[in-house]
Structures are given as structure tokens and as C-alpha cells.
Amino acid sequence: MPHEPGHLQTHPLPPGIVGALGIGGYQLLADVAGVGAGRIGSHIFLLVAPDPDPTVPDAGTQITLHQARLKDEADVAAFTQLAAQLGYLRLSGYRLTLERHGLRSKVGVLNPATGAIVTTIPDKHPGGLFGGGGGAAKLLAGARSLPPAGAPPDLQDPELLRQVLLALALRDEDVSGAEAAELADRALQLTRGDAALDPPAALEAAKNA
């Protein structure tokens, strides 16, 4: 159905969602901790909400890793998994810094313990011809190799815990977006019954339930 201008400002999306929005051909594939993957037609990209900063005006959600021509549907999974991994890193303590490049932004993953940028997400997808086989899949492998930056978020907060579980579930290439959301919900229920379960153990138990 049609929406009035500014609909999303007055009705913001809940955090930790998968494939829950379609407006004018746009689909939000996933959103974890303010990092999402979206597509419209052949275009696919990451979306990153900046860290809140009371001293800086809100720059709004920014586009990064924009690929104008998606040639292989299998690449959609890599974008979704990369968004989930970046969201997971943010939840584990890393900060995401954004540097505007025209209509898009380059994203730096910063370890606050050292002040170092440990990996960078370019504003545009390098593509297969000149990108040397890089792109979302290569960036995903690099992001997965990073250790947690610090203590996990407050897992007593059900919403934060669900986002952690969703991020972990989406990292599995054999799990679809809808399945990841169901697994996260089941794992969340299991943690309520057994507080000793950490997120990976809860997710594994949900898979085997």
C-alpha cells in the first residue's frame, strides 16, 4: 500500500529484521545493529546508520559498497552476511566510522581499544573485472577474521540478545533470512529457560531442536 512522505520517520523500523520491507521495489534484506543490506532492481548495497553523537548533526543512514549491476543472485547472500557480520562487530565493541564520498560513504571498522581502523568497506563494489575477485565475499572473510573488540553487549537485554543471535544465524550461508529470524527467536526462548547458554550455544541448540 502507498505510504505518506516521512512514514519511516514517524514509524521507525524495529532493529534486527530480515526481509521485512518492500517499498517501490526496494527490499531491506537484513538489519542488525544499524547495519543493513538492501537492493532495488539490479542495485545492491549496504546501509549503515552512524553511531549517535550529540555533538554532530544526524547524517542519516548512509549507503556503502554500492553495486549497480548484480549479476549473480548468489552474491545477495554475501551482502546479507557482511551486513550481519558488521552488525555483530558493532555489538561486540567495534565502532563504524563513515567518510562521505559523494552520495555514498566509505566505512572504517575501528577498534576503540587501539584507535586503529582494522578493515575498510569501500563506497563502491569493486566488481569482478577490476576488483581482483574482491568485493562482498572477500570483505566478509576479512571481517570474520577479526576478534571481538571487547566485552559483549548486555545480554540481559532481550532486544540486544536477539540481534546478536540474528547476526550469528545470518553468518551461516546455508540458512536463509527467514530461517535465521526463526532460529534467533527460538534461541532467544531457550536462553530464557537456561541463562547459562551463551549465544552460540543457544543458536546451536535451536538448530537441533
Q: What is the mean pLDDT of residues 24-37?
A: 85
Of 177 and 138, the structure prediction assigns the larger pLDDT to 138
Q: Given a cut of 60, is residue 19 above it in pLDDT?
A: no
Residue 190 has what pLDDT? 92
CB atoms within 10 A of CB 119: 17
Percent of the chain scoring above 90 in pLDDT: 38
Burial class (CB in 10 A: 0-12, 13-18, 19+), 196: exposed
Q: Given a cut of 90, is residue 128 above it in pLDDT?
A: no
Q: What is the mean pLDDT of residues 178-191?
A: 90
Q: Given a cut of 90, is residue 107 above it in pLDDT?
A: yes
Q: Are 149 and 111 in contact (CB under 8 A)?
A: yes
Q: Given a cut of 70, is residue 134 above it in pLDDT?
A: no
Q: Given a cut of 70, is residue 10 above it in pLDDT?
A: no
Q: Given a cut of 50, is residue 46 above it in pLDDT?
A: yes
Q: Are 65 and 139 in contact (CB under 8 A)?
A: yes
Structural domain boundaries in the chain: 7-151, 154-209
pTM confidence score: 0.81
